[in-house]
Structures are given as structure tokens and as C-alpha cells.
Structure 1
Amino acid sequence: MQFFQENINRTNTYSVKWDRTKEVFKTDEQVLPMWVADMDFYPPEAVTRSISRRADHGIYGYTYIDEHVKKQIQEWVLRRQGWNIDADWIQFSHGVVPSIAKAVQALTEPGEKVLVQSPVYPPFFSMVKENNRELVNCPLQESGDTYRIDFTALEDALAGGVKMMLLCHPHNPVGRVWTKEELEQIGTLCVKYNVILVSDEIHGDLVFKPHKQIPAASLSPEISKQTITLIAPSKTFNLAGLQASAVITENEEFRKKIEKLDKKNGFFTLNTFGILAMEAAYEEGEAWLEELLVYLEENVQLVESFLKEELPHVKIFKPEATYLLWIDCRETGLSDTALNKKLLETGKLAMNPGTSFGEGGSGFMRMNIACPKETVQEGLERLKRALKDEHR
């Protein structure tokens, strides 16, 4: 566990989180960045070892993805999530966001409807709009201390000519892990109305007990053939900068259309180091991940305890997965603009404004706690400094 306690200086490494915060948040102040969804931890040693060995070789010519890499993905999802997939179902992409774009471009036409569920990861909106598809939003429903899907509204929307549904599972930012029953309802509706289900499961390895990640495509042959699953080692093992992810679908027609698009765009392989990192992480990173999950849960508990004692008018929706906390600041009475300004100017703290996640995000902030406890504690003290006297 000591492995995750080390404070690593990430400045001047082209880090979006640490080197672009001033630019993104339009501030000249030195603020603590707790926004971008990557971790301030070293990845498993097996990943570093594999990359270092290849770097030492010194020649970086064309590389390809061999069957052993696919085998590690197959064994990982079977071992961790009980999902048995064929190697032929696996295609590759530089990341989950490019994969969403691929699915939208390859399997829908301009003007067709694509459904999302806000509040949700901002690229869900932009990948629909930037590709000239019609965005249909079916917002999640706040229910006590959690979020639910309004299945009546969802069915009405899907029945209205929706071509594709983008599912965030586990959900970013609200932290829900959709249950088997919820997934079966979603999948059954997509089959009924012939809606392609694109399930972004990038946070699927970061699930806290007793919750369990169930791949949507694993529920039935009918749902599987309607589903495209997107996974990556990037969130799990802190490898986002290496740009390697997988697109998995049983549906041969979907695969052929995506492959045709890849050829059209000149995509044929991944970065050499991305391939090696993916392979090493899935083959040897499991023990590291188990320790990470314990550490992240401790960080969640640290935030819960602090807010209860020091800022009782600020609450979190306790996550069932991910290292991202959905923080409810509505009792401060501050507008979204004033809230963000207060955090930046008084707290010297940068978090993702809830409004960036669409409808339902007003009054919220998203905090990244994938960092040493010392950093989490510092972030909480800054949050207190900004909001302690703000209570309507």
C-alpha cells in the first residue's frame, strides 16, 4: 500500500492535469488539480519493465498486435467479469472516445438519433454532435443518495427512432454500477427497438465490493449481438497517455463496418508502447489492481468522514466504482459560476464543474481522488476554506 503513498512530481511532463490547469481554468493562480481522470500513481512494475525493455532495444519500427495480446484481454475479462469472448470479437482503437466516434460514424448516418443519459462524461455529447447526429438525452433520476434510470422515459425515447444508445457502465460521474436487472432491461429494450447499444466499460475494473461489473453483452446472445463493448487498461492501470483500447462485439456486421472505417481512415495498429503496456497490465497487473481498489476505498472514506465533520452541507454520492466523486454543493446556494470561482480563487482548487456533464449537473463538482492521501487531505482542506461559510 506504501506504493500509492509516494508523491510524484508530474509537472513539466506534458501532463494535462498538472501542466495545463492554469490554461484550462483561466487562472494565473497555482491551484491543486483534482479534475482530469488519470491517477497520480505509478502503473504496475510489469508495465514499466516491459516498456523499458523495449525502449532499451532502441529500434521503433512498425509493430503489430499479435494473438497473445488478444489472449490476455480474453483471460482478463473472463477472470475479472465472467465474460467469455472470442478473439475474433476484438478490434483495437487509440481510446474509448475515438471508439465512440468510430461506432457513431460506422453504424449510424448523419441526422440519426443517438441517446445519452446525463449527467455523463462530456465526450458522449460531443461525439454525437460533432458527427452531425441528433442528440437525444434521457436524464438519470436522482433517487435519495443514488441515481436510477427512468425506464418508462427510456423506452419512450428508444421507441422514437433512436438508432444508438451510449451507455456509461460504470457511470461517470455518478459512480453507479448498473445491476444485472437494470442491464437486462436496457438490453431487452435495445433488442426490441433495434437500437445499437454501445457500452463504455472503461471503469469496469474499478468496482468496489460488494458490487460487481457485469458486461452488458454477457447477458444473452440477443443482447450480445446488439452490443459493442469498449474497454481499455487506461483508467485501470493509469496508462491513458499510451493510447490503447479494445472494441469488442460478437456482431460480425458491426465489426466489418468498423474495419471498413478504420481502413478508410488509415488506422491499422496501436503505438508500440501501448501494445506492450496493455499486454503486461492484463497479464501481470492484477495484484496491483487489488491493492489500488483498497487504497481508493480508503480515500473515499477519508472524504466522507471529512465532509461529515467539517462540511456537513456538502455531500457526495458514494461511488460504487471509479475514483471520481460526484460532490453535491447545492446547499451552498452558490450559482455554478460563483461555485467554481470560489473554489479556484479562495480554495485554490480545480475540479470539474458539474455543468460540463449536462442536464442534472448544476450544483455539483467532480473530484478525482486517485492520488496519495496527503493530496486528498490537502484538497479537502482547500474545499473547506472555499465553502465553510457558504450555506443557505
Structure 2
Amino acid sequence: MTVPPLESLPLETLRRRSSSKWRTYGDDVIPMFVAETDFPLAPEITRVLAEAVELGDTGYTPPRPGVGEAFAAFADRRFGWQVDASHVLTTGDVMMGVVEVLRAVVAPGERVVTTPPVYPPFAMCTEESGAVVEAVPLRDTGTGWELDVEGIDAALAAGARAVLLSNPHNPTGTVHSREALAAVAASARRHSAVVISDEIHAPLVHTPGTFTPFLAVSDDAAAVGYTVTSASKAYNLAGLKCAVIVTAADDTRRVVRALPKEVEWRTGLFGARAAIAAFDVASDAWLDGLLAALDVNRRLLADLLAEHLPEATYRIPDAGYLAWIDLSAYGWGDDPARRILREVGVALHHGPLFGPQGIGHVRLNFGCSPDLLRTAVAKIGAMTRG
């Protein structure tokens, strides 16, 4: 059965929001930089949060608030992944979880592999943990990107102690193959290293793509892996502060259970309640509608770029609502987002922040209405005629 796409909220409603997307710039700017979407909340989330406000249920988050059980049911239903709820610990957000796991498994000064161009906080959080980034860039296949399995193995053989994966990958929207993930897991186990997999974009894999949870790939992956994820990207809940750290082996579970108690205490009560509602089967239809809307937009963006910016390079992402666009051909400098904001008032994410591979690139958030996407791309295209 075809699912109708969700409709974005009206622009005048969105501009009443007080989040980063709508308060960083003025009303004369179209914001397409940070990963917030423009859709109404899933009704089940709205219901539980409204109930909490009505009750004055704004206190501390209890131990075991039910997020683990809700996530396990969701993972089984949406990914065919069997998760032991007792192996799920909550914390405030994904990068908070990544930092704490890194602190527990990597000594200060040791190296952590990242796969640029990649989400800028990967480098920041690696450094916060006391470790050092070792970049092993994605391979450009000519039609997409893939993990450099041999490069990762060489880095681990030379002493790197961990691999930090973006799975699916931000900003390229790449869904890593089961084979590549299994090879990384085998390499990590062979070299006594660990893999931390950020799977925050997992609910947003587009048909016909298939998401592969790292911990479910193989016995090696289960032994060396830590997954950190959240409902926040798919359901637009970043401000409510709830993420999960998931393990699949006794040794890794002991590491997570030994983290400071404050790691779990950072979970927001509204975040926990909203996550449970998001992971509930009652929100599946909303998620399917979101995916339908994003599918329309990821394809529309290709058409718009062909019309207004024909020298841009864009590959339709396999997951998420973030587009990685190479604008180098236009000569707008290493960081074209700066010029675009200054000249036409469209705010995009700065490509060089994702690593040297991002020079000349921008990241555009298409989790918006088709009309707003049309307006933004037309404005940028007008720069080529100015």
C-alpha cells in the first residue's frame, strides 16, 4: 500500500519555533543547515508529552524508564534485529554516549579511526575523550561511497584502538554494506580494537536500501561493538535528550555498566517518554509517511540541481534527509556555504567542517516542504547568473 507523504508545517508556523534551526538566523534566511525537520511530531509523541505537561511530570528520569524495551521491539520490527533490553543503557544524546564509551575503551593519546567526510562532532568528541583522530576517508566509487576496509585494517594493524562509524553515513547518506561492516568487525577483533557505531539515521533508510545494524553483522561485531543511537533524528527530538548505548556481548555490557552513573542520569525524562512513543508501533505509520516525504524531496533535489545548478555533483542519498553537494565547479571558494548565505540568504552546513574532503561542498537539509526546497535551490542558482 502506498503511504501518503507527510506534509511540512507552514513556514509561518515554523518561524515561531525557538530551536537552533529557526533562531540562528533571521526571518530573511532559509535555514537548511542543522539536522532538524519541518514536520509535525508523530501524534503519539505529542500525546505523551502533553500528558506529561498536564500532570506536571517534569522530574528526574527513573532508572530503567522503559526505553530499552521499546527500542528492542522497534529494532525487531523495523530491522529484524534481536536486542536484549538489558543490554540497553540510556544517556543524553548520541555524541555524549560516544565520548563516554571512548573514555572507557581508549587510553589518552591512542588513535581512533574516522571515515571522512563525516559528521564534525566525530573529531571533536574523539579529542574530548583524550584520543587522537586517524582519518581513513570513504572511497569514492564514482557512483557512491564505501568504507575503505583495507585502510581501516592497516590503521588498526598500526595501533589504532577503535573505529568510529557513521552507519548510515552522515553526510553522504551511504548505507554501509553487510560485507564491509563484517570485514571491519573481523579486523577490529583481530587487532583487539573496538567499533563504535553511530546509527542515529538508521530509521531513515530509503527503499530499496536495507539497514544493517553493526552488532547483528557477525559474532565478531557482537564481540567488539557498541551501538549508540537515538530517535532524535528521525522524529525530531534532539532537544529532549535521550539516546541509547547498546551492546551484544557480556564483556562490552560490563564496560557500559561500569560507566559513571551520571551518564545514565543525563537522560531527559521528556526524552525518555518521547523515545518510547517514537519506538512504539503506533508511530510506524508516521515514520512511513516521513520516509515517503523524504523520498519525494531527495529526488526532487536532483531535478532542481539539474535545472538551476547543472555543474553541481549530487548523488541521491540512500538514507536520511541530508544532501552532500559538490559546488566546486562554480568557484565559490573552499566553503561555498559562506558565500551562499551572504549573497542569497540560504543557510547550508559548511563542507570543510566534515574534513578536507568537504572542500567546495555543502550539506543541505531537505527535510522540509517541496516548495521551500524549490525556493532555496532557485535562489542559489541565481548566483550563477549574477
Q: TM-score, normalised by structure 2?
A: 0.94
- Aligned to 1:174, the other structure's residue is in SS state coil
CA distance in 2, matches of 1:157, 1:266: 30
Cα offset, 1:272, TM superposition: 1.7
Name the SS of the counterpart of 1:162 in structure 2.
coil
Aligned equivalent of 2:311: 313
The residue matched to 2:161 in structure 1 has which SS? strand
Report if the CA contact (8 A) 1:65-1:275 is conserved. no
C-alpha contact 1:42 1:238 (8 A) present in aligned 2: no
Whether 2:163 is the aligned partner of 1:165: answer yes
The residue that corresponds to 1:303 in the other structure is 301
CA distance in 1, matches of 2:146, 2:79: 23
Structure 1 match to 2:8: 5
Q: 1:64–1:270: 8 Å Cα contact kept in structure 2?
A: no
2:354 corresponds to? 357
Matches within 5 A, 1:201-220: 201-220=199-218
Deviation (angstroms), 1:372: 1.2
Q: Is the 8 A contact 2:311 2:327 kept in 1?
A: yes
Determine the structure 2 residue equivalent to 1:21: 25
| Counterparts of 2:152 and 2:384, CA distance in 1 | 37
For the residues of structure 2 that align with 1:117 and 1:270, how far apart are their CA atoms?
28
* Alpha-carbon distance in structure 1 between the residues aligned to 2:385 and 2:211: 37
Give 1:261 shift. Answer: 2.8
Matched ranges for 1:1-392 at <5 A: 1=4, 3-8=6-11, 9-11=13-15, 13-21=17-25, 30-66=28-64, 68-263=66-261, 265=262, 267-268=264-265, 270-283=267-280, 284-337=282-335, 339-388=336-385
Give the CA deviation at 1:274.
1.0
Aligned-pair CA distance for 1:4: 1.7
Which letter does structure 1 place at the counterpart of 2:18? Y
Deviations 1:199-220 (A, max 9, x none): 0000001001111001011012
In structure 2, what is the Cα distance between the partners aligned to 1:10 and 1:102? 34
CA apart distance, 1:267: 4.2
Count of aligned pairs between the two proteins: 381
1:358 & 1:387 partners in 2: Cα distance? 26
8 A contact 2:21–2:34 mirrored in 1? yes
Q: 1:291 & 1:62 partners in 2: Cα distance?
A: 33
SS in structure 1 at match of 2:204: coil
SS of the residue 2:380 aligns to: helix
- Give distance in 2, aligned partners of 1:132 and 1:71: 33
| Rounded Cα–Cα distance in structure 1 between residues aligned with 2:128 and 2:37 | 28
- Residues 151 and 388 (structure 1), Cα distance of their counterparts in 2 relative to 1, 3 Å cut: farther
Asked whether the equivalents of residues 116 and 138 of structure 2 are also in contact (C-alpha less than 8 Å), the reply is yes
Does the aligned pair in 2 maintain the 1:139–1:359 contact within 8 Å?
no
Distance in 1 between residues matched to 2:89 and 2:377, nearest whole Å = 41
TM-aligned CA deviation for residue 68 of structure 1: 4.0
Aligned equivalents of 2:85 and 2:368: distance in 1?
A: 35
Q: Distance in 2 between matches of 1:142 and 1:221?
A: 29
Separation in structure 2 between the aligned mates of residue 246 and residue 55 of structure 1, nearest angstrom:
24
What code does the residue aligned with 1:262 have? P
% identity of equivalent residues = 29
In the superposition, relative to structure 1, how do residues 216 and 341 fare at CA in structure 2: closer, same or farther (>3 Å)? closer
The alpha-carbon deviation at position 153 of structure 1 amounts to 1.8
Gaps of 5+ in 2: none
Are residues 269 and 312 of structure 1, via their aligned partners in 2, closer, same or farther at CA, if it must alter by over 3 Å?
closer
Mark the runs of 5 or more structure 1 residues left unpaired by the alignment.
23-28
Query: C-alpha separation between the residues in 1 aligned to 2:373 and 2:194?
Result: 39
Pairwise CA distance, 1:3: 4.3
Q: State the distance in 2 between where 1:69 and 1:145 align.
A: 38
